[in-house]
């Protein structure tokens, strides 16, 4: 009884605090942080993020963002610490018997307020992205054994998500059928349907599996000479992104490596752009109450792509162009996530619309002096949830090269004024990654030799804003 009382008090406290998330505009907060990133000022980006999240150790999103910013700054230890904390948060929630009732309770609150009061435990693709980025960080730090542990966790998490998602969708469909409610976002007047119905979004098998993640798994296992585990990774990547020569070639090369004496099998990873922003758009909803029709404007989330980074589809290595192959787009996964989540969002919003209108109709008849004030409060409170991991890259592209051991140099087309980046390869299998944001290049890898001694892991183009 005492434990139950404490739990209810905790829930009550969350309710009292729910006024903060209902007013918080996460997208606007991150806008300033990302402006610093685009300007090549990572210290400023971290400072703004910390200012907006003053209470240590911070929530899940804070640690998502902080980990990526520190990775770009070259602080692999700090980056891993932030991401490890986020990963332990997710694991703790997944293993807690009380978490699911608590999450449902916050979801119940959203029927009366808005979706911002729902507990944010990360979108499915963000959870998978977290351990994939951690594996990439470890691989870049020449820690393939630790990267193996993290990439294995990635695919275990995928299996857990798949089972949970199937049950959620079935329950939602059954509930909508019983209520006779249409939950199709295509029926929302004025909603940008094309963004969620785009071919590249619909073609995704689901919202959380990434061909890059499985390809990276194959490369990690292959570099550790575990070819029996590498093959399933490459096959899964092919299934998720069929008709991709680079993936098919990786599987063929497992049988007989084409490496010659003194050569290195190099996996070059370029992550470009930023994840799309979640904004809020008002859509008119018609509600019938006691024979009278009311129109109320309700909020729904939309995704706005970041267009600050020029296209990156090749890299120049030692003066020779090398094609990059797109293996993942977190932008597309974001849109697929929203597409899959829209039935639930619509269900909650329609319920809120009816409740709002019924209360206004009651006031109009019995308390007309309260009508204007209540309408203003409802309008101010009505907003879509704009939370999401914004520092994630939009696209992940790769090139698989065979180079002689020794020093090489490369350039990226998004930063033509930046001098060539030098890198050294000396192992049979090696990987490193670059990040392109705007006209900047960021890198965090032990193989890189950059011409910026004051900030050796952050490559920043000479042009300053």
- Could you tell me which residues are beta bridge partners of residue 284? 297
Cβ atoms within 10 Å of 27's Cβ, excluding its own: 21
Is residue 356 domain-resident? yes
Is residue 459 domain-resident? no
Say what the pLDDT of residue 455 is. Answer: 37
DSSP 382-426: --------TTS-SEEEEEEEEEESEEEEEE-TT-TTSPPEEEEE-
d(CA 262, CA 428): 8
Say what the pLDDT of residue 330 is. Answer: 96
Say what the pLDDT of residue 165 is. Answer: 78
Q: How confident is the model at residue 185 (pLDDT cuts 50, 70, 90)?
A: confident
Q: How confident is the model at residue 182 (pLDDT cuts 50, 70, 90)?
A: low
DSSP 430-446: EEEEEEEETTEEEE--T
pLDDT tens digits, residue range 62-83?
999 999 999 998 899 999 999 9
Q: How confident is the model at residue 449 (pLDDT cuts 50, 70, 90)?
A: low
Helices 211-223 and 245-255: crossing angle in degrees, nearest 10, is 20
Q: For the chain, what is the domain count?
A: 1
Is residue 31 domain-resident? yes
Find the range with the poorest average confidence among 178-187, 247-256, 346-355: 178-187
Mapping DSSP to helix (H, G, I), strand (E, B) and coil, where does residue 232 land? helix
Over residues 368-390, the mean pLDDT reads 92
d(CA 299, CA 238): 38
d(CA 386, CA 398): 30
| Helix and strand element counts for the chain (H, E) | 16, 12
d(CA 267, CA 431): 5
Task: Report which secondary-structure segment, H or E, holds 317.
Answer: strand 314-317
- Alpha helices by DSSP H, listed for 211-328, are 211-223, 227-240, 245-255
Contact 392, 126 (CB under 8 A): yes
Is residue 463 domain-resident? no
Contact 66, 46 (CB under 8 A): yes
The CATH number that applies at residue 347 is 1.25.40.10
Is residue 433 domain-resident? yes
d(CA 308, CA 311): 10
Cβ atoms within 10 Å of 350's Cβ, excluding its own: 18
d(CA 42, CA 35): 10
User: Average model confidence (pLDDT) for the chain?
Assistant: 86
- Could you tell me which residues are beta bridge partners of residue 271? 396, 435
Percent of the chain topping pLDDT 70:
86
d(CA 235, CA 171): 32
Is residue 456 domain-resident? no
Say what the pLDDT of residue 15 is. Answer: 42
Contact 33, 49 (CB under 8 A): yes
- Residue 41 CB partners (closer than 8 Å, separation 6+): none
Residue-range definition of the domain harbouring residue 296: 2-449
Is residue 427 domain-resident? yes
Chain CA centroid to CA 353, Å: 29
Over residues 297-308, the mean pLDDT reads 94
Is residue 455 domain-resident? no
């Amino acid at each position: 009884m005492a434990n139950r009382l404490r739990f209810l008090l905790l829930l009550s406290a969350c309710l009292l605090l729910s006024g903060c998330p209902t007013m918080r505009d996460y997208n606007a907060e991150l806008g300033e942080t990302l402006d610093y990133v685009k300007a090549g000022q990572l210290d400023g980006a971290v400072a703004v993020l910390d200012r907006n999240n003053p209470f240590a150790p911070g929530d899940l999103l804070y640690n998502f963002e902080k980990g990526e910013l520190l990775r770009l700054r070259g602080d692999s230890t700090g980056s891993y610490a932030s991401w490890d904390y986020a990963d332990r948060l997710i694991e703790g929630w997944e293993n807690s018997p009380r978490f699911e009732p608590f999450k449902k309770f916050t979801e119940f609150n959203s029927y009366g307020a808005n979706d911002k009061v729902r507990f944010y435990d990360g979108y499915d693709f963000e959870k998978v992205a977290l351990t994939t980025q951690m594996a990439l960080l470890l691989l870049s730090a020449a820690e393939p054994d630790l990267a193996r542990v993290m990439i294995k966790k990635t695919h275990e998490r995928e299996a857990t998500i798949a089972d949970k998602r199937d049950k959620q969708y079935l329950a939602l469909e059954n509930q909508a059928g019983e209520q006779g409610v249409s939950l199709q976002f295509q029926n929302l007047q004025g909603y940008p349907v094309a963004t969620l119905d785009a071919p590249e979004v619909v073609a995704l098998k689901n919202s959380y599996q990434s061909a890059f993640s499985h390809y990276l798994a194959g490369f990690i296992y292959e570099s550790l000479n575990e070819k029996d585990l590498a093959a399933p990774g490459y096959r899964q990547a092919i299934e998720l992104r069929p008709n991709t020569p680079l993936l098919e070639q990786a599987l063929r090369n497992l049988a007989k490596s084409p490496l010659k004496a003194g050569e290195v099998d190099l996996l070059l990873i370029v992550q470009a752009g930023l994840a799309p922003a979640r904004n809020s758009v008002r859509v008119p909803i018609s509600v019938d109450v006691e024979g009278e029709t009311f129109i109320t404007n309700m909020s729904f989330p939309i995704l706005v792509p970041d267009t600050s980074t020029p296209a990156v589809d090749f890299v120049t290595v030692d003066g020779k162009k090398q094609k990059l192959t797109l293996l993942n787009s977190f932008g597309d996964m974001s849109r697929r996530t929203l597409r899959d989540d829209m039935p639930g969002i619509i269900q909650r919003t329609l319920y809120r619309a009816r409740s709002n209108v019924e209360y206004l109709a009651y006031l109009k008849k019995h308390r007309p002096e309260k009508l204007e004030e209540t309408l203003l409060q409802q309008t101010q409170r009505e907003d879509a949830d704009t939370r999401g991991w914004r520092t994630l890259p939009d696209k992940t592209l790769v090139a698989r090269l065979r180079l002689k051991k020794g020093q090489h140099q490369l350039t990226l087309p998004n930063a033509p004024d930046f001098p060539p980046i030098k890198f050294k390869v000396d192992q049979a299998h090696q990987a490193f990654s670059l990040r392109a944001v705007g006209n900047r290049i960021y890198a965090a890898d032990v193989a890189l030799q950059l011409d910026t001694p004051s900030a050796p892991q952050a490559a920043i183009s000479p042009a300053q804003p």
